[in-house]
Every structure is written in C-alpha cells, then in structure tokens.
C-alpha cells in the first residue's frame, strides 16, 4: 500500500463513496449466524469507482455495501491467476455480523488464507465466510440416511 495505513484508505473510500461506517457493539452480536449482504452478489447493480492505481471500489446499490479491493500480488494458478490481497466490506461492521475484523484489521479480510471460516450454529447449520466478503448459510436436509446440505 506504499506507506498508507488501512485507516487512511478506508477514510478515503468512505469520503469518496459518501458512506458513514459504524462498528457493531459486542452486545449486538447475533446468537445464530446468518449471512450478510457482503461481497459481490450475482446480478446486483454495483457502482464502481477508482481510488488509485492499487485500489478499486464499488457500492452495491441494493444493500449499500462498500467493497474496496486491493490485489497486492498475483501468481499463476490452474484456472487462471490467484490473487493475494485484501478486501474491505463496510457491512461486515454491521450489527450481528459474525466477522467484523479480519487479518487486515476492522472490516478488512484476506482474499486467500485465514479469513475463510466456517461458523457452526446451534441449529446444526453452517455459515461460510470468505475473504472476499461472500457468505453462505448451509442447512442440513434430512433424507435417506446421509446428511445433505442446502444453501
């Protein structure tokens, strides 16, 4: 990031997008993890804008989520390039979010590695949290003796 702090990048993105960010209080945490509208939603309308040559940003018109992406390194993979960097999700800081902070700090998550998580709920469902902000809840479906999962 060439000497700029994450806080200054978020501040620049917030001013550019015109969106205020608030952090969730610990007392507001959800008892059952549910997916939040972070990450890129298929078919959603996004308004993209450029912050600088290293950062790209977009706002999801339907949810108001500000997503800032920084790709620091890329390496060839089996099906194309593998990107290493950080992703900022403003709705990750919302009330009830299961992941308010990642390896990059508050609201920032690594595209690869330790910020990919599974949260086990008391009802047996799982919440998948990815580094790019995508989330999905998987619920067990009773059937013919095997456990199947629905999204």
The string of DSSP letters for 16-49 reads HHT----PPPGGG--SS----S-SPPTT--EEEE
**Distance between CA atoms of 104 and 112, rounded to whole angstroms?**
12
pLDDT higher than 70, residue 18 = no
Q: What is the pLDDT of residues 60-69, one digit of tens each?
A: 998 888 989 8
> What would the pLDDT profile of 70-112 be if each residue is shown by its tens digit?
888 888 989 888 888 888 888 877 766 666 677 777 788 887 7
Domain range spanning residue 38? 6-150
pTM of the shown model:
0.58
Model confidence band, residue 47 (pLDDT cutoffs 50, 70, 90): very high
Burial of 132: CB neighbours in 10 Å, binned 0-12, 13-18, 19+: buried
Decide if 108 is inside a domain: yes
Identify whether the C-beta of residue 60 lies closer than 8 Å to the C-beta of residue 68.
Answer: no
Given a cut of 50, whether residue 115 has pLDDT beyond it is: yes
pLDDT at 131: 78
Provide, rounded to the nearest whole percent, the portion of the chain with pLDDT above 70. Answer: 64
- What distance separates the 2 farthest-apart alpha carbons in the chain? 57
pLDDT band at 57 (very low <50, low <70, confident <90, very high): very high
* 16-20, 28-32, 83-87: which is most confident: 83-87
Q: Say if 109 falls within a structural domain.
A: yes
Report pLDDT for 29.
35
Count of domains forming the chain = 1
CA atoms of 85 and 132, how far apart (whole Å)? 10
- 71, β-bridge pairs: 85
Instruction: Give the integer Cα–Cα distance in Å for 102 and 70.
Output: 14
Is 1 a domain residue? no
Dist. CA 127–CA 15, nearest whole Å = 32
């Amino acid at each position: 990031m060439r000497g700029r702090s994450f806080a200054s990048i978020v501040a620049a993105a917030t001013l550019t997008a015109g969106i205020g960010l608030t952090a969730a209080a610990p007392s507001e945490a959800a008892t059952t993890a549910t997916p939040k509208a972070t990450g890129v939603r298929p078919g959603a309308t996004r308004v993209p804008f450029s912050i600088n040559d290293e950062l790209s940003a977009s706002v999801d018109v339907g949810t108001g989520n500000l997503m800032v992406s920084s790709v620091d390194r890329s390496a060839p993979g089996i099906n194309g390039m593998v990107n290493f960097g950080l992703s900022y999700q403003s709705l990750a800081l919302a009330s009830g979010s299961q992941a308010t902070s990642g390896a990059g700090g508050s609201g920032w998550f690594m595209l690869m590695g330790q910020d990919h998580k599974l949260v086990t709920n008391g009802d047996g469902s799982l919440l998948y949290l990815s580094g790019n902000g995508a989330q999905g809840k998987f619920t067990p479906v009773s059937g013919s003796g095997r456990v199947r999962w629905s999204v």
